[in-house]
């Protein structure tokens, strides 16, 4: 049963810690990324059940091109595999998929798969899954600033964020406490939650706990707003 409390929430997740998770187990970084990718489906299913409207996952930052070629190739292969194996499941689940970020640096075949996946899931209304790939929030803001079609703040925001609402809750796994150029405009008023657990170990129970903490934070904020209004 969906919870009205989380309806239409935009959840952003920085999926960090794959490499350290792998190193602690004597595995390659690519194997760590593979384990992280395998954890996406249960998180999306849990988010949909909670009534969340949008989930944006940080999968590949623009600066990740600087990583070793073998690791980058592995990440590209994981995206290709995800598009091949998950689209039918996303369609059945009513999940719309879009990718945000640059596409001009991706292989032509991969860009085509992305476009086909977006087209096949375009009618999904239960949840909007956005994957940030070859993404930089600063680049998105700069590109919007160069676009002369924006005549007001709302139009500028649409150029930066597309049709996604502002982020309500941003989770970063892996222990680091920074945004790393992820959804900077959209996260202006987001609640931030930094989790020590690496992404491959972050499962549905941990997401539910994060949502419960967010609910408590929002209740305290709503209470503070009511008290301020009464005092005024």
Q: What is the 3-state secondary structure (H, E, C) of 84-110?
A: HHCHHHHHHHCEEEEEECCCCCCCHHH
Does residue 127 sit in helix, strand or coil? strand
How far apart are alpha carbons 117 and 85 in whole angstroms? 11
Establish how many alpha carbons lie within 13 A of residue 94's alpha carbon, considering only the half-sphere containing its beta carbon: 9
Catalytic residue among 7, 64, 147, 176: 64
Q: Which residues pair with 127 in a beta bridge?
A: 95
How far apart are alpha carbons 93 and 120 in whole angstroms? 12
- Catalytic residue at 16? yes
- Catalytic residue at 134? no
Catalytic residue ranges: 16, 64
């Amino acid at each position: 049963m969906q919870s009205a409390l989380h309806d239409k929430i935009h959840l952003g997740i920085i999926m960090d810690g794959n490499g350290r998770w792998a190193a602690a187990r004597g595995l390659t970084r690519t194997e760590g990324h593979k384990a992280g990718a395998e954890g996406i489906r249960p998180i999306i299913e849990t988010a949909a059940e909670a009534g969340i409207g949008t989930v944006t996952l940080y999968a590949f930052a623009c600066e990740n091109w600087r990583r070793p070629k073998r690791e980058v190739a592995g990440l590209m292969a994981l995206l290709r595999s995800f598009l091949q194996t998950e689209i039918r499941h996303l369609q059945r689940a009513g999940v719309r998929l879009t990718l945000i970020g640059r596409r001009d640096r991706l292989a032509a075949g991969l860009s085509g798969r992305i476009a086909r996946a977006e087209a096949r899931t375009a009618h999904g209304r239960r949840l909007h899954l956005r994957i940030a790939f070859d993404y930089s929030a600063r680049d998105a803001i700069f590109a919007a600033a160069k676009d002369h079609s924006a005549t007001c703040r709302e139009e500028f925001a649409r150029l930066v964020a597309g049709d996604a609402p502002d982020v309500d809750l941003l989770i970063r796994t892996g222990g680091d406490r920074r945004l790393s150029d992820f959804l900077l405009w959209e996260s202006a008023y987001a609640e931030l939650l930094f989790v020590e657990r690496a992404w491959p170990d972050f499962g549905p129970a941990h997401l539910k706990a994060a949502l419960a903490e967010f609910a408590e934070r929002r209740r305290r904020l709503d209470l503070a707003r009511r008290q301020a209004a009464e005092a005024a």
